[in-house]
Amino acid sequence: MTAGARAERGCGRGVSIIVPTLREAQNIPALAARIDAALSGGGTAWELLLVDDDSDDGSDRVVAQLAERLPVRMEVRKQSPRDLSAAVLLGFQLARYDRLVVLDADLSHPPERIADLLAALGDGREIVMGSRYGEGGSVGPRWGVWRLLNSRLATALARPLASCSDPLSGFFAIPRRALPDLAGLDPLGYKIGLELLVRGQLEVKEVPIEFAKRQAGSSKMGWRQQVDFLRHLGRLYRYRFGGLTRAACFGLVGASGLVIDVSIYLGLQSLGVEHRTARLVSFWPAVSWNWLVNRRVTYNGRPTQPRLRQWAKFTASSLIGLGANVGTYAALTTWVAGFDRRRLLALLTGVAVGGMLNFLVATMYVYRRHAVPGPPRGRRVATQGTVREHR
Ligand code: GDD
Ligand code: MN
């Protein structure tokens, strides 16, 4: 049983809508009203749980008023530093229902789409994210070039970590049973969705959304949040790809394979074999050597898989690498002046391109780590009243 499944016992059926807030008093009434209009009448129990980072802008009074007629409450974090991800994690712990939805308070994420996210969740899905960049999604016409470029670049940086069009989306739905052990998470800043995708190894389904302009107030995204994003990315890359150690090891193994590769490549040519044929043949002993040493050393500690199947996977992924490798070689020797006489340099360039591709596929697929959820260590806090402080 997963940590999430264990936590689900004793949880009512319904939807907890978790919204991190920082000085959003102006947006909260409209947010609550639109959620109410969208969900009430649908027969699903729901609650709106605002996790505030000590805004001190009257949000608590606004919430107290709303709570007289709607299932709305607010949790106030007093810890420093303020952090969107930490707020959402606290929300997960305090939520009442078995399905969790996270969205922004500024109405950038249309509450009317919550039902679509939940529908896509169905019974078996692990997470559904609202995507701005998939087919049918949009960021509206008002984003300036700078914001669009910035967001696109950030998304490109995160792409190798998650296989979806918008891994940085802040609008998503997740069943409680799919939540990874919260104590095993280590997020920082805005991208709690990405953290869940990567560390929870969740299979994601995307629903296109139109990201609207912030209703009132101002964005809290500044330089610090951008730097935090890069630091968070670094953590996730190290987690996902084992950091420099693993990459360096993979590179060394690759280099040893290269020695075999080049020796056979040159040896065959000295026997009169045509250079492209020699290039193709020398690949096989080299790839088998690489598979074995990576299995024993580089990915030592990862779950072992049946040898033949894993060799086949590694070889298949290496063939993709070989495609990039030989393709680069062929392109350089055929079309780039000078490489025709410097074939070894063309070969090395091809190896570098193919090698990087191989490393990614090996880490994420061939020697993949499977989720082994530990026991839940997240503290559960009892809640009473509408606005509660949490220190
Ligand atoms: N509790 C808490 N603590 N909430 C915060 C904090 C914080 O430190 N910082 C921001 N928030 C809340 C805001 O009040 C808002 O409800 C939501 O988090 C998003 O903050 P914005 O300031 O509106 O951020 P944005 O519009 O630039 O970012 C959006 O787009 C990103 C992708 O480009 C959000 O959807 C992000 O989650 C998303 O990653
Ligand atoms: Mn916003």
**302 DSSP assignment:** S
* Residue 79 to residue 57: CA distance in whole angstroms: 17
Is the C-alpha dihedral spanning 62, 68, 72, 78 positive or negative?
positive
What is the C-alpha to C-alpha distance for residues 248 and 265, in angstroms, rounded to an integer? Answer: 25
Q: Which residues surround ligand 2, an ion (CB under 5 A)?
A: 106, 108, 214
User: Given ligand 1 and candidates 17, 76, 82, 84, which is best to mutate, with the most ligand atoms within 8 Å of its CB?
Assistant: 84
Return d(Cα 106, Cα 187) in angstroms, integer. Answer: 22
User: pTM of this prediction?
Assistant: 0.70
Provide CB contacts within 8 A for 55, sequence distance 6+. 21, 22, 23, 24, 25
> Residue 8's pLDDT is what?
64
Return the exposure string of 129-143: e unless at least 16 CB atoms fall within 10 Å of the residue's CB, then b: bbbbbbeebebeeeb
Between the CA of 107 and the centroid of ligand 2 the distance, in Å, is 8
Plot region of 334 (φ>0 → left; ψ -120 to 50 → alpha; else → beta): alpha
Instruction: Select from 19, 22, 151 the residue to mutate for testing ligand 1; criterion: most ligand atoms less than 8 Å from CB.
Output: 22
pLDDT in tens, the chain (391 residues): 565 655 566 689 999 999 999 999 999 999 999 999 999 988 899 999 999 999 999 999 999 999 999 999 999 999 999 999 999 999 999 999 999 999 999 999 999 999 999 999 987 899 999 999 999 999 977 788 888 889 999 999 899 899 899 999 999 999 999 999 999 999 999 999 999 999 999 999 999 999 999 999 999 989 889 889 988 987 888 788 876 768 878 988 988 998 999 999 999 999 999 999 998 899 899 999 999 989 887 787 788 889 999 999 999 998 898 899 889 999 999 999 888 888 899 988 998 898 889 898 998 899 987 644 444 444 334 344 567 666 6
Residue nearest to atom 6 of ligand 1 (CA): 84
Number of CB atoms found within 10 A of residue 86's CB: 20
> Nearest bound ligand to CA 54?
1
Determine what percent of the chain falls in helix, strand and coil, rounding each to the nearest 5.
50, 15, 35
24 CB within 6 A, ligand 1: yes
> What is the Rg, in whole angstroms, of the alpha carbon atoms belonging to the chain?
25
Return the structure tokens found at 327: 């393709």
Beta carbon of 20 within 6 Å of any ligand 1 atom = yes
* Pocket lining: 21 vs ligand 1, CB cutoff 6 Å: yes
Is residue 14 helix, strand or coil? Answer: strand
Q: What is the pLDDT of residue 355?
A: 83
CA–CA distance, 368 with 299 (Å, rounded to integer): 9
